[in-house]
A and B are shown apart, each in its own frame.
Chain A
Amino acid sequence: MLTLKNIVTYYGNICALKGVSLDVKQGEIVTIIGGNGAGKTTTLKTICGLVPATSGEIFFLDKDITNKPTSDIVESGIVMVPEGRRVFPRMSVLENLQLGAYLNKNRPEIKNDLEKVFDMFPILKDRIKQIAGTLSGGEQQMLAIGRALMARPKLLLLDEPSMGLAPKIVTNIFNIISEINRTGTTILLVEQNARMALSIANKGFVIETGNIVLEDTAKNLLRNEEVKKAYLGE
C-alpha cells in the first residue's frame, strides 16, 4: 500500500533520514520504533509532504506521491495525527472535528462520520462545545485521532500517541487504535513506547540515526535480544 524507497531527508545541513526504505501492506498495523532523534517523526512528515525528501521515492496505492503538496496527499487518503496532538486550541471539539473533514464536501457523509467518531469516543460527544485547549491530554489525543478519522483515511499515521499520557489512558488509546484497524484502516504507528506498539502491531521497523536497522514481525521483535536490551528495558 505504502512503499518508501531509499528516502533521504535533510533539515538544512543535517541529514535526518539516510536512505529509509519500508513498506506497509493494506490492513496492517506497522510500527516504527526508535529513540529520540532517530528519524521517526521525520519519516512521517516526509510521507505527508510536510518535509521535502532530498532523494528517494514514496509510492502510495501505486502512485508516486514523493514531495507532492500535503493537501494532495491527504486527499489521496494518508492522514497524520501529529506529535503532541496539535488540536486547534481555541476551537470547540465540534469545530476541530469539522476541520478534520475539511476535504470532504459531502454533508451527509460528514454527519455520519461524526456519529462514528462519537461512538468511538463518547467523551467527545459530552464535550462537544468545550474549547479543545481545555481538554485533558488524553481527551486531546482522542480528539486528534477523531479529527484525523473525519478525513476518512485509508492510511492513518500516528506520531507518538502515548506521549505524556497516564499508563491507563495509553492502554485505552492503543485499544482504540486496534479497533480503528479492525474497521479497515491501515495504520503506521511511530512510538517510543516500543512494548505497547509491538503488542498491537503486525510488523515493526527499528530506526536508528536515520537508518532502518531491523525489520521483522512484531512478535519476533519482541523476542529479539537487541531490541529487548535497547527498547524494552530488559
Chain B
Amino acid sequence: MALAIRKSTFSILATARCIVPREFRGLSSLPETKEDVAQDVAKRSTGRKIRFQNPALEYRHVYPEFLPDPNPKWRNTLREKMERADMLKRRSQIDIPEFYVACENQSVTDLYRTYKTLTYIYPVSSPTSFEPFIRVSGTGIISRTGSVAHYSLDEGPPKGSKLVSDDTRYIYVKLKPKPWLERWERQELKGVANIDEHLKEKDKVRRELRKTPWEKYDLMKQYRKTIPAEDQNEIWGEVHNQLNQLRLSRKKMFKKRPVSAPKTQLA
C-alpha cells in the first residue's frame, strides 16, 4: 500500500512537472524558445538511430544461434520463444563454448545443429576471453571469405597444407595442386596465399565470368538473409540478462580451474 501511494504521488508530481510549464506557455503569448525546439529536433532525429544503439545487439556476433531462420516460411514466434528458453536451459547445464568457425554444420540454427568440432583449445594467452578463431589441428585448412570462416575436411587441398603466416586475424594457407574438393578460385578467399599458381588460363577466364559484382548492391537479397534490428532488439532483450550471467559464471569457473600441464600420450 505504502509503495502504491509513493508511486502514485511520484507519478502525480511527474505529470504535474510535465504539465505546468506547458500551461504557462499556453497562457503566455511568447513563442517557445529556440533552444527547446532545437532540442526536440535533435531528439527526434536520433529516434531512429536509437534502435541500432542497443548494446545488447552486439550479442548477435557471439550468439548468432539465438537468431531464428530469416525465411518467413519457417518463422513462428511462439516456437522461437520456447526454443530460446530451451537453449538457455541447456546452456545452464553444459558449457557450450562460443564458436566462431563455420564448421560443417554451422549453417544451421541451434537446436537443429549437430556439433562436429575437431578440437577446442582453451586459449592460454588470454584466459578471460576466447580467441576469435579456433585453431584446428591435424588435417584441414582454415580460410576466410570476408567475415565468414571456412573449414574443409581432408581430401583436396588439406593434407600437409602449411600455415604460411600466423597472424591473429588471418591464417594463410598454401593449397596443394588440384584436384580440389571445391572450386576455391571462385570463392574470393582471403586466407589462401598461392591460388593463382594452380589455375589454368581457362579457370581464370571462367572465374571472371562467374563473378557477381552486383550482388553486394542487391539490398533485398541481404534483407532476406538477416533478422532486422527491431526484431533483434526483442530477442536480445529477452535473453541477454541470462546470457550475461552464464558468461560471468563461466569466467569464474575458468579462473577456479586447476592449471596443469597436459600429459602427453605415448602410443
A binds B: no
> Using a CB–CB distance below 8 Å, which chain A residues touch chain B?
none
